[in-house]
A and B are shown apart, each in its own frame.
Chain A
Amino acid sequence: NAGVTQTPKFQVLKTGQSMTLQCAQDMNHEYMSWYRQDPGMGLRLIHYSVGAGITDQGEVPNGYNVSRSTTEDFPLRLLSAAPSQTSVYFCASSSLTGPYNEQFFGPGTRLTVL
């Protein structure tokens, strides 16, 4: 049981380049989400999904796209990277049933946009 996995761990992009951050979970969780972590700002929700084929925007969705074709995978796409997207990105998943819905986080992807 690997939990939530993310690739790559580190990435450096030039402004305007595109890339996809991968996220996968093996816990059969319905809910998956992407956060970015910036100094002094905690974690902010980018996009989330409550099941395959269903996605919605969080607090800071601009510049990012997502899709959810399977329960396991929830990739985050940057179509044209900007320096403001330099951040650490975390993927999380949780069950939608149960009283507490604990979110499980991946180890993060550190992205630098030059």
Chain B
Amino acid sequence: GNSVTQMEGPVTLSEEAFLTINCTYTATGYPSLFWYVQYPGEGLQLLLKATKADDKGSNKGFEATYRKETTSFHLEKGSVQVSDSAVYFCALRRVSGGYNKLIFGAGTRLAVHP
């Protein structure tokens, strides 16, 4: 079946450190892939997306590349800020059936300290 696996958190970094949050997926066909971010006390917001192999999604200094050969979509940022502290969810959109069903990973909490 379709599934998403993320690295467990929490991830704790100092400001300006490099961030990687790993995400791998299992799916039939060619799903679209997403990263959502959830700031404290808020709902999820779309951070970036990629719809086909080798696409690179980017937003707010974050990047992720759709790697079909390794079924991965790792999130990276070169220099994190305290304001990046949040929970990050990797998700895929199912290709067959069910319109807009997103399948989420468990989420990775990021804490950035000054």
A: residues with CB less than 8 A from B are: 4, 31, 33, 40-45, 48, 50, 56, 58, 90, 92, 94, 96, 99-103, 105-108
Contact = CB atoms under 8 A, between A and B. Distances in A.
Nearest to B104: A42
A94 B45 contact: no
A90 B44 contact: yes
Contact of B100 (A44, A96, A107): A96
B107 interface: yes
What 8 pairs between A and B have smallest CB-CB spacing?
A105-B43, A42-B104, A105-B44, A43-B104, A42-B106, A107-B43, A101-B100, A31-B100
Interface in B4-41: 4, 32, 41
A94 B100 contact: yes
Nearest to B89: A42
Given A33-B100, A43-B89, A96-B99, A102 B46 contact: yes
Interface of B: 4, 32, 41-46, 49, 51, 89, 93, 98-102, 104-107
Nearest to A95: B100
Nearest to A9: B41
Contacts of B44: 43, 90, 92, 105
Contacts of A33: 100
Contacts of B104: 42-44
B99 A4 contact: no
Contacts of A100: 32, 49, 51
